[in-house]
Amino acid sequence: MKLFYQFISIFFLAFLFSCQQPQQPQQTLTETENDTIKKDVKNQFNQLVSALNQKNVDLWSLNYSDSEFISAIVSTDYYSTRTAFKDSITKYISMRESQHIEHLEIRVTPLTPVLAFMTSEEKIEILLKNGQNFDSKHVFTMIWKKEKDGWKILHSHESWTEIEAQ
């Protein structure tokens, strides 16, 4: 019986040590790299907002990763696939006569040479096809990754609060 417990203990320790991830060296970005990442992500985000202002869902969706999309949250709705997310946005956009998004603030925090965290605040004016008008304060939280085709969104979360309804 003693041999059995020794065997289990050795097996458990071997299992425990085999599960540990090797330590990755800390990646320190230079000031120039930080500035470049901030500029590039902001530029890409501006393209996303421009596509939304045009109500162009196909152009908007190009900002989201095809291969590494993780999720999107819109208010309290969760999307685990890029396709489901795009379909939902297509439906919402189709109900709008026009919309205008104006940046209030964009904050980008580079995490590694290929990952960045972004938050933003916007003012949004939406006119629905039924004539209803909404003015809202809107916020995004996004994780961006540099892929071969440029910076793409892996995860996004957006929320808003209505400022005024007419």
Q: What is the CATH number of the domain that holds 51?
A: 3.10.450.50
Chain segment 58-114, per-residue pLDDT in tens? 999 999 999 999 999 999 999 999 999 999 999 999 999 999 999 999 999 999 999
Whole domain around residue 44: which residue ranges?
31-165
Tally of structural domains, the chain: 1
**pLDDT at site 9:** 46
51 falls in which pLDDT band (50, 70, 90)? very high
Continuous segment of H or E residues that includes residue 2? helix 2-19
In a domain, 18, yes or no: no
pTM of the model: 0.81
Task: State the Cα–Cα distance between residues 113 and 134, nearest whole angstrom.
Answer: 39
Distance between the two ends of the chain, CA-based, in angstroms? 79
